[in-house]
Structure 1
Amino acid sequence: MGASENKALVRRLFEQGMNERKAEVFNESVAPDFVNHDLPGPTPGPEGFRQSFAMFEAAFPDLQVHLGEVMAAEDDKVITRSHWTGTHKGEFMGVPASGASVDVNFIDIWRVENGLLAESWVRMDFLGLMQQVGAVPS
């Protein structure tokens, strides 16, 4: 796959898989041995990806991912700068629901293999998230 196909794969995961909650997109986009190097998810593959996303979705049921910019796409890598929004309505990492609206920046690096997402590295503003839900002072 080329850079444009790899970008489209990531965009589809964000827009259809996460935002539209189309579960089949995870199976169609994520490799069976997918590894997320940064977010919790003990299980590899599409199921592990779903588990990680479900943790966020349970705490922020209206979560929406906003793909801001594809910063680079070449060879087997796609790098995105994005943010997600949601309302803190459930427990998250031990923090009870606060009702706060959040807006969280993140950068993803994706590795694509054989037309599927094989690995990801996420740099998310967890400090900003914890400040927004009132878990730590601003």
Structure 2
Amino acid sequence: MSDEQNLQRVADFFQAMTDRNFDYIESFLAPDHQFFFPLSPVPLNRDAHIGMNREFGVSIPDVTWQIDDQFVAGDKVVTRGSISGTHQGDFQGVPASGNAMNVKYINIVQLRDGLNINEWDSLDTLSFMQQLGAVPPPR
């Protein structure tokens, strides 16, 4: 696939997460997909990654994945943006707070034949957990 097609595939993936279009998400993740996420001590496989996206969509039903910048580096697409929404349901043991959240992220997707085989997320997890009310803010 061309660089432009890879950029579009990843942009469509972020839109699918905003829209909770799990058909697209499932079709985009390769069977041997691995997701490296700061809140998980081990990489998530395809099914666990889909499950986490489902949980996120229930916890923050108005979630929006904003893309601020994207570029291609070989077989990888790098995306910088923000995630925003309202914490309305339990998320990984953190009860609903009703708090608005907005967190910056950097994401790298490695593609093979147009499919996401590896994905790395880097986000401000401390700020995220503070905004959810799981960690007190600094004094």
TM-score normalised over the length of structure 1: 0.88
* Equivalent-residue separation in structure 2 for 1:29 and 1:118 (angstroms): 9
* Equivalent-residue separation in structure 2 for 1:77 and 1:24 (angstroms): 22
Instruction: Provide the identity percentage.
Output: 33
* Equivalent-residue separation in structure 1 for 2:96 and 2:105 (angstroms): 22
Unaligned runs of 5+ in 1: none
Q: SS at 2:130's partner residue?
A: helix
The letter of the residue matching 2:11 is R
Cross-structure match for 1:114:
113
- Which deviates more, 119-128 or 18-27? 18-27
- Which deviates more, 91-100 or 102-111? 91-100
Once the two structures are superposed, the pairs formed by residues 1-138 of structure 1 within 5 Å of their partners are: 1-15=1-15, 17-38=16-37, 40=40, 44-45=45-46, 47-70=47-70, 72-138=71-137
- Which deviates more, 106-115 or 125-134? 125-134
Q: SS at 2:135's partner residue?
A: coil
Cα separation, partners in 2 of 1:50 and 1:67, compared to 1, 3 Å:
same
Unaligned runs of 5+ in 2: none
C-alpha displacement at 1:127, in angstroms?
Answer: 0.5
User: Any runs of at least 4 consecutive aligned residues in structure 1 with deviations exceeding 3 A, and if so which?
Assistant: 39-43
| Cα RMSD after superposing both structures | 1.8
On the 8 A contact 1:18/1:65 being kept in 2, the answer is yes
How many pairs does the alignment contain?
135
* Equivalent-residue separation in structure 1 for 2:43 and 2:55 (angstroms): 12
* Equivalent-residue separation in structure 1 for 2:104 and 2:18 (angstroms): 16
C-alpha displacement at 1:5, in angstroms?
Answer: 1.1
Q: SS at 1:94's partner residue?
A: coil
Cα separation, partners in 2 of 1:37 and 1:43, compared to 1, 3 Å:
closer
TM-score normalised over the length of structure 2: 0.87
